[in-house]
Amino acid sequence: MTNMKIATGTVTDGTIVVEGQPFSEGEKVTVLSYDTAPFRVLPEQKRVLLESMAQADRGELVDADDLLAELDESI
25 falls within a domain: yes
pLDDT value at residue 1: 44
Domain count within the chain: 1
Using CA atoms, how far apart are residues 29 and 6, in angstroms rounded to an integer? 10
Q: Give residue 63's pLDDT band: very low, low, confident or very high (50, 70, 90).
A: confident
Other C-beta atoms closer than 10 Å to the C-beta of 55 total 13
Q: Report whether pLDDT(70) > 60.
A: yes
Domain membership flag for residue 56: yes
> pLDDT value at position 65?
83
Domain range for 67 is 9-74
Is residue 1 domain-resident?
A: no
pLDDT digits (tens, 9 = 90+) for 22-59: 788 888 887 777 766 777 888 998 888 888 888 888 88
Give helix 64-74 / helix 43-57 axis angle, nearest 10°. Answer: 160
